[in-house]
Structure 1
Amino acid sequence: MKLKGILLTSLLALSPLLAAEKSLQQQIDELNDRVDQNELQAALSKVKFGLDFNASMNNFFINNNGTSDTQANKWLMGLYLNMNADVTKYAKFTGRLAMTKAFGDLSWMPIGTPITTLDAGKGVSGGAAIYVERAYVDLFLGDYWALTVGRLPGTEGPGYNLRNGAARMSTYPALLVNALGDGGVITFKPYTDAALRAGFAKVYQPLYNTVNSGAGSVFNESGGYSQADMNLMFAAFETPFLPKSAGKSLLMLSYMYISNYSLPNTAILSQVPEGIQNQVSQALPDSDATNIGDLQYANIHLENFNLAGSGFNWFFSFTWANATNGHLPVTLGVIPSSTLFDQKGSYALHVGARYDFGRVFKLGYEYFHGSKNWYAFSRVSANDPMNIRNTRGDVHDVYAIFQIDPFQFFRLSYTYLHRDYAAAATYGAPTATDITTQNLSVAYIMRF
């Protein structure tokens, strides 16, 4: 009994200590929960969001070899969600979700449009589907090197800036490439303001179903899809070329080689007379696409903003291109053994200037010329529904920007486009034509 009393007395003495320990553990657990929640919130807050919104009303006036047509009151809307995150000191994420929608049955299609849609209909005539326009990570490998992987920033590059009232939206000049592509780029910066880049990308092309392939997968074990892989390789050098007192300037020298430009077989057959479509279909390879050739481009781009503080901005972009025939296995009478690309050099020139009358009113002008055999690796957008960079002829564009505040403005524009030759939409050499398209447009753009 004496021993039991001693134990009971000891337990009574220890109970406050045990209760205090339990209370302390509860406090520690609560603190851990709070730390975990704070770390989660901190991780989520790393992603910064921005938004671009574009709504425009377009009026098209078309004269096709003497036949006139009017497509008035056509509305376009573009919505873009931008994402940025400094994940660590050495890793940065950039993303952009996009949706473009046409209202009012934008049914007109200029003759001589590009041979194939580069991004599966996500241009002005595409459905209201949200898609990933860019999603890439910059990995900084020390002080001089960086690796970029993912869906690369290949849309709306330098050359888009002035008219759209935006800063540099992409790494590469729009007259060199304006398309979606997944790959990697290595960048070397010997000093702060200059960069050397080299990269490789797979350019997005739609897969088309065939009777044999069913759903159509790039991982089909039976093969037949290798020809649908378009490979893009490029190298570029960029640096300022004017003193800082002259305003922000940029010089870019770029080279790009595109191998295995594949055209869906459905698109090939759509351009063949009905009487021989069966023969052509049998001659095509048992796959969804056929390699029609390779392309190479060399571009020089210069731009300057706020020249010497005067409010004057300008850019100059020139591209030389050449095409090499692929292996279109069609030698039937009316279809030459050549591909859709004529084996001749071509070039394009795009220049523009804008004067800012203070912060409220800005007036600009752009001129584009594409030669007889020119083919641009470009896509339409809400800001460029006619895809002027794919014009074999001349384009004049005059626009006025009315800035409401730093985040929004109205743009009134008049675009005159004349095609001397149809774009690469028929076999062999370009076809002479006389098509004029004019567009009177008013747009509201918000960006924050």
Structure 2
Amino acid sequence: MKTKGILLASMLALSPIVAAEKSLQQQIDELSDRVDYNELQATLNKVKFGLDFNTSMNNFFVNNNGNSSTQANKWLMGLYLNMNADITKYAKFTGRLAMTKAFGDQSLMSSNSSMIPIDAGKYVGGGSAVYVERAYVDLFLGNYWALTVGRLPGTEGPGYNLRNGAARMSTYPALFANALGDGGVVTFKPYTNAALRVGFAKVYQPLYERENSGAGSIFSESGGYSQADMNLMFATFETPFLPKSAGKSLAMLSYAYVSNYSLPGVSIIEALDNIDGGSSLGLFLPPRSDGINLGDIAYTNLHLESYNLLGWGLNWFASFSWADTTKRENFFGPATSLSGSLIFDLASSYALHVGVRYDFGSHFKLGYEYFHGSKNWYGFSRVSANDPLNIRNTRGDVRDVYAIFQLDQFQFFRLSYTHLKRNYQTPDSPSAPVATDITTRNLSLAYILRLR
């Protein structure tokens, strides 16, 4: 009995210690949860968000081979959510979600200038769907090297920004490449403000074979899918070309090779049927669910730009591209002609795009742009809310004059008049030119909000 009493007394004496230990452990757990929460919040706070919003009223006046028509009071909207995050000292994330929409879901492009949707949001009336325009990580490998992986910044590059009242919005000149692509880029910076980039991107790659209800995939061993992959290999070198006292300047020399220019098999049939004059091309394509290759293209581009030249408020750019189709190919094999017409035209072409803007102080800016595309020109470009006519894909001449009324550093109105003259039909692919006489004029008033 005496022993049991001693044990009971010992247990009663230890109970406050046990309770204290439990309380201490509970406090430690709560503190750990708070630390985890704070670390999570700190990580999330690294992501900085920005917003671009664009809404415009457009009035289109079209003269198509002598037949005039008017499409007045047409509205467009573009919404872009920008994301940036400094993950570590050696890693940075950049992303952009986009949505473009024509009010009433109307596509404003006539049938002879519609775009085949090889990427999301390619139609002007893209609808309310939000898509990833860019999402990539920059990995800095020391002082001179960087690796970029993800959906690359290939849209609305230099050549877009003057008219849009923005700084350089992307890496590569818009006349060189203006499309979505997933891949990687290695950048070497030998000295300040100069860079050499070499990259690879997938622009179009079918995932499933519709005929078999998704039985096939890109991992199939059938061999048919690799034939429908569009690959973009490119290299660019950029450096300032004016002294710093003359203002900010940039020269870019770029080369790109697009192998296996591919389009969705179903879409191309529908698009060719809808092209004005398409029936006269004598083209017939059997149904293809996994896409179709049209050939290869090589682009060479020289882009020059300068801002606030000599402190005068003068900004300008000049961009020239030369393109060669190095192979022609259709459903039936290389160099095949159907009823005398080639799907992929084997010819050289070129395009020139120049622009100038003078800033009268900080609240009023006046600009002018001119574009010329040769008979066989095909621009690797896409439509946008800021460019509903996709002027960089014109086989003819475009003149555009605009005035920017800057309200503050975040928002402005833009009044513009665009005159587009097509000598040959705007191509849905690098196809043989079809002569036409179409003039499109657009009088537009846009409101743009930019928070970054």
How does the TM-score come out when normalised to structure 2?
0.90
- Partner Cα separation in structure 2 for residue 76 and residue 425 of structure 1: 22
Structure 1 residue aligned with 2:126: 126
Mapped to 2, the partners of 1:274 and 1:241 lie a distance apart of: 49
Letter aligned with residue 245 of structure 2: S
Aligned partner of 2:397: which letter?
D
Per the TM alignment, residue 247 of structure 1 is displaced from its structure 2 partner at its CA by 1.9
Taking the aligned partners of 2:426 and 2:208, their CA distance within structure 1 comes to: 23
How many residue pairs align between the two structures? 443
Secondary structure, counterpart of 2:261 in structure 1: strand
Distance in 1 between residues matched to 2:154 and 2:66, nearest whole Å: 38
Of stretches 41-50 and 171-180 in structure 1, the one that deviates more from structure 2 is: 41-50
Judged with a 3 Å threshold, the aligned counterparts in structure 2 of structure 1 residues 427 and 54 are, in CA distance, closer, same or farther, namely closer
Contact 1:208–1:264 (8 Å) recurs in 2: no
Q: Does the 8 A contact of 2:65 with 2:438 survive in 1? A: yes
Q: Sort the Cα spacing of 1:384 and 1:19 in 2 relative to 1 into closer, same or farther, 3 A.
A: same
The one-letter amino acid of 2:329's match is: H
Whole-angstrom distance in 2 between the partners of 1:176 and 1:28: 58
**Residue 205 of structure 1, CA deviation:** 5.9
Q: CA deviation at 1:231?
A: 0.4
Q: Tell me, yes or no, if the aligned pair for 1:196 and 1:238 is still in contact at 8 Å.
A: yes
Residues 62 and 387 of structure 1: CA distance in aligned 2, closer, same or farther (over 3 Å): same
After TM superposition, list the pairs within 5 Å mapping 1:25-424 onto structure 2: 25-104=25-104, 106-110=106-110, 112-113=112-113, 116-204=116-204, 211=211, 217-270=217-270, 271=272, 280-281=284-285, 287-328=289-330, 329=332, 334-336=339-341, 338-341=342-345, 343-424=346-427
Question: How far is the alpha carbon of 1:15 from its aligned partner?
Answer: 4.7
Alpha-carbon distance, 1:138 to partner: 0.7
Distance of aligned partners of 1:358 and 1:276 in 2 relative to their CA distance in 1, 3 Å threshold: closer
Question: Is 1:409–1:446's contact at 8 Å kept on the other side of the alignment?
Answer: yes
d(CA) in 2 for partners of 1:64, 1:252: 37
* Two-structure CA RMSD over aligned residues (Å): 2.7
**Which stretch of the first structure deviates more once superposed, 162-171 or 223-232?**
223-232
Tell whether the 8 Å contact from 1:95 to 1:136 is kept in structure 2 after alignment.
yes
Aligned-pair CA distance for 1:359: 1.3
Q: In structure 2, the residue corresponding to 1:54 is in which secondary structure?
A: strand
- Compare 31-40 and 56-65 and name the one that shifted more: 31-40
Q: Hey, what's the Cα distance between the residues in 1 that align with 2:206 and 2:141?
A: 34
The 1:281–1:248 alpha-carbon spacing in structure 2 relative to 1, beyond 3 Å, is closer
Find the residue that maps to 2:329 and give its secondary structure.
coil
Give per-residue Cα distances to partners, 1:37-59, cap 9 Å, x unaligned: 11111111111111111111100
Whole-angstrom distance in 1 between the partners of 2:67 and 2:35: 71
How far has the Cα of 1:128 moved from its partner? Answer: 1.4
Alpha-carbon distance in 1 for matches of 2:212, 2:429: 27
- My pick for the range that moved more, 314-323 or 106-115, is 106-115
Quick one: distance in 1 between partners of 2:264 and 2:18? Answer: 76
Closer/same/farther in 2, CA of residues 2 and 121 from structure 1, 3 Å limit: closer
Distance change >3 Å, CA 128–CA 146, structure 1 → 2? same
Distance, in Å, in 2 between the alignment partners of 1:7 and 1:333 is 102
Q: Select between 150-159 and 244-253 the one with higher mean Cα deviation.
A: 244-253
- Alignment check: 8 A CA contact 2:208 2:218 kept: no
TM-score normalised by the chain length of structure 1: 0.91
Q: Matched residue of 2:163: which SS?
A: helix
Counterparts of 2:280 and 2:61, CA distance in 1: 35
Report % sequence identity: 73
Distance 1:210 1:41 in 2: 44
Structure 2 CA distance for partners of 1:227 and 1:121, relative to 1, 3 Å: farther
CA distance 1:73–1:374, shift in 2 (3 Å): same
The change in CA–CA distance for 1:147 and 1:107 in structure 2 (over 3 A counts) is closer
Residue identity in the other structure for 1:407: F
The answer to whether the 8 Å contact 2:118/2:264 transfers is: no
Partners of 1:276 and 1:213 in 2: how far apart? 32
- Which of 255-264 and 377-386 deviates more? 255-264
Change (3 A) 1:107 1:138: closer
How much has 1:16 moved relative to structure 2?
A: 4.5
1:2 and 1:217, CA in 2 relative to 1: closer, same or farther beyond 3 A? closer
Give per-residue Cα distances to partners, 1:98-124, cap 9 Å, x unaligned.
Answer: 111111454443464366333145431
CA distance in 2, matches of 1:427, 1:237: 27
Q: In structure 2, do the counterparts of structure 1 residues 433 and 216 end up closer, same or farther at CA, with 3 Å as the change threshold?
A: farther
Do the aligned residues in 2 keep the contact of 1:201 with 1:233 (CA within 8 Å)? Answer: yes
Question: 2:280, 2:311 → 1: CA distance?
Answer: 65
Letter in 2 for 1:173: P
Deviation (angstroms), 1:427:
8.8
Q: Deviations over 1:390-411 (max 9, x none)?
A: 0111111111111111111111
Opposite residue 91 of structure 2, the aligned amino acid is A
Per-residue CA distance 1:198-246 (angstroms, 9 max, x = gap): 0000003677965456687434454422222000000000111122222
CA distance, structure 2, for counterparts of residue 69 and residue 388 of structure 1: 20
